[in-house]
Amino acid sequence: MADLYPSLAQCAIVAAAFKVLLFPAYKSTDFEVHRNWLAITHSLPIQEWYYEKTSEWTLDYPPFFAAFEWLMSQAAAYADPAMLVVKNLGYDSWQTVYFQRATVILTELVLVYALSRFIKSVPLPNRQAAHVASLSILLSPGLLIIDHIHFQYNGFMYGLLVLSIVLARKQSTLLYSGILFAVLLCMKHIYLYLALAYFVYLLRTYCLSLKSVFRPRFGNIFKLGFCVVGVFAIAFGPFAQWGQLMQLKDRLFPFSRGLCHAYWAPNIWAMYSFADRALISVAPRLGLPVNTDALNSVTRGLVGDTSFAVLPEVTKEQTFILTFLFQLVPLVKVWFNPGCWDTFVGAITLCGYASFLFGWHVHEKAILLIIIPFSLIALKDRRYFSAFRPLAVAGHVSLFPLLFTAADFPLKTIYTVMWLVLFLFVFDRVAPVPERPRIFLFDRLSLLYLTISIPLIIYCSLGHHLIFGWDRLEFLPLMFMSSYCALGVVGSWVGFMVVYFTS
């Protein structure tokens, strides 16, 4: 029997020690966002939660998350009641910081629990791989950077997601998986990106007979329908009752934002912007018209509308259609392989990819939507792993611009490098040889890709400032970084598509 040391609990303890030490580290505006939500949910009646706008960081997560904040605010009252005052904008006494940071660490226990369930759900021969994958998720630099430094509650919510995915493994717990995912949707609507995969999988595997598409299982349909509708009714019912649904819609889906987010999440549109930028100098020679307005306004790392100088504009509708199409492709396989859990997880991953790569106003934090489900199956065999490798590098490196203070630089780089060295090495040892031979020449390319990252990080974090100073061409490092990372994410997407459809 394989040795499963260090155990999840041991890693969680040491990681928690490290995270506690990060209490005084840089925290983004998300810290104030969540403090404000604590204050809103604690001091206002529910009817006013989605109308309150004293702070610019209005409540824009679904009701269950608001309820979660309300729950935490009950404890927060003992830590420091002043943080629960709506008017105390930007309040960050040490009690507030300790309290909020501690809640992130504590709620992450859900993830630890989900991962331990995941390990137990795996048949014995593969358990070591599952253990390693779980550790990689638990110690993920993504969660460390986003949750414990930048500040959010992803560890908790990805814990629910992993738990729901694990529950989907067995026919007997499939219903709970669906319910849990509905709950998750009512906590953070970003998971809508994965909803299509759940829908198809549950429909085919739970609602229809495994043997024939034409034999619906009415009992299951009723149970699942009742429960999911019930969850949504609990979450949104009261607001519908008060006639606030339109307000909620406006809060949850603010469509006034631009195509690319502040730091250019590494997706297709980052590459598109990069191409546009590169074409500006070439366009006159090719006789292409250049939109002069856009020349000055091409995002300099600012939130707002991106306009392109040479290439055609991209509309919201186009991004939706692209996202939807690329989500549908992998779902075909889910439909024809009912009850195949690996395919389901692969489909979730690919849905994450599609929405990340083609979505409108994608945030770089959404990369976890791909990495975490992918980690669960990355060790299926070496082909999966070689598709995972560039994603692991690009996805985590793309998070670096989230932290920009000098004190964070060693934290984010050394932690990420350590994680990459450790887990890429261990994965390489643990991943079994595939049944079919590998078909692509991806390996050499991904090695080249990995090596490029080192000079690039050095250039972007230090070299650029030495060459150009602190305020000239400041968008350039970000653009290089996101284009580089976009290449990695797209590369791993193509690679994984191939693996997914050929296995």
Partner 1 sequence: MAPPTPSSHRPRKKRKIAISPGSNNNLILDLGEGKQSPAFPLVSFLWAARAGVSQWLILPLVLMAVGLFRWAVSLWGYSGFQVPPMHGDFEAQRHWMEITTHLPLAKWYIYDLQYWGLDYPPLTAYHSWLFGKIGSAFDPTWFALDASRGFEDPRLKVYMRATVVVSEYFVFIPAVVNFLRRYTRMQDVHAWSASIALVAVLLQPANILIDHGHFQYNTVMLGLVVASLDAILAGRMLWACIFFVGALGFKQMALYYAPVMFAYLLGVCTFPRINIPRLISIAFITLAAFALLLAPLMVGASNTEARKAFAASSVPPLLQALPIQLDKNSVTYGLLFQLTQIIHRVFPFARGLFEDKVANAWCAIHTFYKLTRFDATLLQRASIGATLTSIIVPCAIIFRHPRASLLLPALSAVAWGFFLFSFQVHEKSVLLPLLPMTLLLAGNGGLSKETRAWVGWANVLGSWTMYPLLKRDELRVPYIVMTLLWAYLLGLPPTSFETYRTRPSLEDSNANFEPSTLTTLLHFGFYLAMLAWHILEAFVPPPPGKPDLWVVLNALIGAAGFGIAYMWCMWKLYTQCRQISRQATEEESQKKKQ
* Residues of the shown chain interacting with partner 1 in the complex, contacts defined by CB under 8 A: 1, 3, 5-7, 10, 13-14, 17-18, 20-25, 405-407, 410-411, 414-415, 417-418, 421-422, 425-426
Residue 21 or residue 332: which is nearer to partner 1 going by CB? Answer: 21
CB of 433 to partner 1, least distance (A): 20
Identify which of residues 180 and 403 has a Cβ nearer to partner 1 in the complex.
403
Q: In this structure, what are the phi and psi dihedrals at residue 217, rounded to the nearest 5 degrees?
A: -100, 100
Q: How far apart are CA 124 and CA 77, in angstroms?
A: 46
Minimum distance from CB of 57 to partner 1 (Å)? Answer: 24
Query: Nearest-CA neighbor of 393 among 476, 486, 463?
Result: 486
Structure tokens at 88: 């105390």
Report which of 384, 386, 464 is spatially closest to residue 126, judged by C-alpha positions.
384
Distance in Å, CB of 409 to partner 1, minimum = 9
Rounded Cα distance, 331 and 420, in Å: 31
Residue 47 or 405 with smaller CB distance to partner 1:
405
CB of 372 to partner 1, least distance (A): 22
Q: Least distance from C-beta 407 to partner 1, angstroms?
A: 5
Residue closer to partner 1 (CB basis): 14 or 82:
14
| Type and span of the H or E element at 462 | none
SS3 208: strand
φ and ψ at residue 362, rounded to 5 degrees: -80, 140
Q: Where are the alpha helices (DSSP H) in 242-367?
A: 245-252, 268-286, 292-297, 316-336, 341-358
SS3 57: coil
* Residue nearer to partner 1 on the CB measure, 3 or 317: 3
CB of 8 to partner 1, least distance (A): 11
- Determine if the peptide bond prior to 6 is cis (ω within 30°): yes
Nearer CB in complex with partner 1: 85/418: 418
In terms of CB distance, is 370 or 402 closer to partner 1?
402
Distances (CA, A) of 421 to 63, 205, 413: 40, 39, 12
In whole angstroms, the minimum distance from the beta carbon of 131 to partner 1 comes to 11
User: Which CB, 150 or 251, lies closer to partner 1?
Assistant: 150
- Alpha helices per DSSP H over 359-474: 368-377, 382-397, 408-430, 442-458, 464-468
Q: Please report how close the Cβ of residue 394 comes to partner 1 at its closest, in angstroms.
A: 21
Rank residues 278 and 407 by Cβ distance to partner 1 and give the closer one.
Answer: 407
Is 49 exposed, middle or buried (CB count within 10 Å of its CB: 0-12, 13-18, 19+)? buried
- Give the nearer residue to partner 1 in terms of CB position, either 18 or 253: 18
Other CB atoms within 10 A of residue 104 CB: 20
Neighbour tally for 222: CB within 10 Å: 11
Which residue's CB is nearer to partner 1, number 288 or number 421? 421
Check if the beta carbon of residue 179 is closer than 8 Å to that of residue 228.
Answer: yes
The residues facing 208 across adjacent strands are 216
Q: At what angle do helices 218-241 and 63-79 cross, to 10 degrees?
A: 60
Instruction: Give the DSSP per-residue string, 361-394.
Output: TB-GGGGHHHHHHHHHHTTSSHHHHHHHHHHHHH
Shortest Å distance, C-beta 13 to partner 1: 7
**What is the rounded distance in angstroms from the CA atom of residue 380 to the CA atom of residue 399?**
26
Q: Which residue lies nearer to partner 1 by CB, 240 or 407?
A: 407
CA–CA dist 17, 101 (Å, integer): 12
Q: What radius of gyration do the chain's Cα atoms show?
A: 23
Min. distance of Cβ 290 from partner 1 in angstroms?
A: 40
Query: Which token pair is 340?
Result: 């195949």
Dist CA 81 CA 74 (whole Å): 10
For partner 1, the closer of residues 27 and 42 by Cβ is: 27
* End-to-end CA, the chain: 28
Least spacing, CB of residue 24 vs partner 1, in Å: 5
**Closest distance to partner 1 from the beta carbon of 10 (Å):** 5
Q: How far is the CB of 469 from partner 1 (least distance, A)?
A: 14
